[in-house]
Amino acid sequence: MSICAHLCRLGTLSIAATLLFACSKTINLSQQVAPLAPAPQSITSLNDSSTATRIVRSPDNNAENYTSPETQAVPLQAEIPSSIASALAAGINADLRGIEGATPSVVASASVGSAELFGESATYSNQPFQRWLGVLTRFNAQQTDPQYACAPDKRQTCALTWWNSFIAKLRALPLRERVTVVNDVLNRVPYVPGESNWGDAGYWETPLEFLTHAGQCQDYANAKYLALAGSGVPDSLMRFVVVRDRQQALDHAVLVVYVSGEPLVLDNQNTAVLPADQIDRYAPYYALNMKGAWTYPQPVPPVVLAGQIPAFPHPTFALARY
């Protein structure tokens, strides 16, 4: 039995936190489907010297006391590289053109009746999840960090300026449309494995790190979560969810947002936002928001070995990365 299987069988959130995502690996597929939006480019690293990061490697990323490797002194990058900026601009032009100055749309707080996701019931826990808390803490600090401030002539590609402008535009949209736009725009960021960015497949990026370095599955989900939270979506309606893709035999992370009581899945693998009950390939490990956490039974063994051509349950579900 794999280390991940042992950890998840134990069922404790503190141990589940050691789960490393296989989403740091891209998958070459011989079968393609036409996405609704341009498929984000999958790249190994960004060709921008300012993104270079030197790290101290951890000897065992699967250890229970796993922590991300410490990063050596590297200047923070405040500016979005051109490869990411152009992709984001295309999304903004497609989804949010002319939205400036619109009246904000208030999203009412609501309770979620059931914690069931992808057909699995959950056990609630209020244990702290250190890696998740670390993202929130770093992001809060970065928003007032002078090193993330940009020169006046760089404001159009400044990560913090772009982020705040994006949040302001989202506030004008009704919840369902807001969810769709967040998924579409942020899915356009190129995929870069954590191993390439940080020397650590398990590193969780803040939104500003995601905008300036690109990222992998958990980074898309984190950025979408914090974009929606910043735009006024109540925390009670959102879940950051780590799942097992049983068709690909890989671990993955998505965001789930409840709209009119229905859990919708925002996924960097999918150009469409689908209800959770229409996706049968995922089995949840655990779900998080700022109030607590939910753990699920260990996912069943995969039904398709990694590397085989997958079955596509929906025409927009195009696997090109993880």
pLDDT tens-place string over residues 210-236: 999 999 999 999 999 999 999 999 999
Residue 23 has what pLDDT? Answer: 53
What percent of the chain shows pLDDT beyond 70? 64
What is the model's pLDDT at position 238? 95
- Residues recorded for the chain: 322
Give pLDDT, residue 74: 36
If we measure between CA atoms, which residue out of 106, 81, 94 comes closest to residue 209?
81
Please give the pLDDT value at position 157: 87
Pairing of strands 238-245, 250-259: antiparallel
Q: Give the pLDDT confidence score for residue 108 in this predicted structure.
A: 64
How far apart CA 242 and CA 301 sit, in angstroms, is 16
**Residues 194 and 200 sit within 8 Å (Cβ to Cβ):** yes
pLDDT score at 8: 36
Mean pLDDT, the chain, whole residue set: 73
- Beta partners for residue 258, in sequence order: 263
Domains, the chain: 3-295 (3.10.620.30)
Q: Which residues, given as ranges, of the chain have pLDDT below 70?
A: 1-76, 98-106, 108-111, 113, 128, 299-322
Sign of the dihedral defined by the CA atoms of residues 249, 252, 257, 259, in that order: negative
Contact criterion met (CB below 8 Å) for 143 and 160: yes
Angle at 97 between CA 95 and CA 103, to 5 degrees: 95
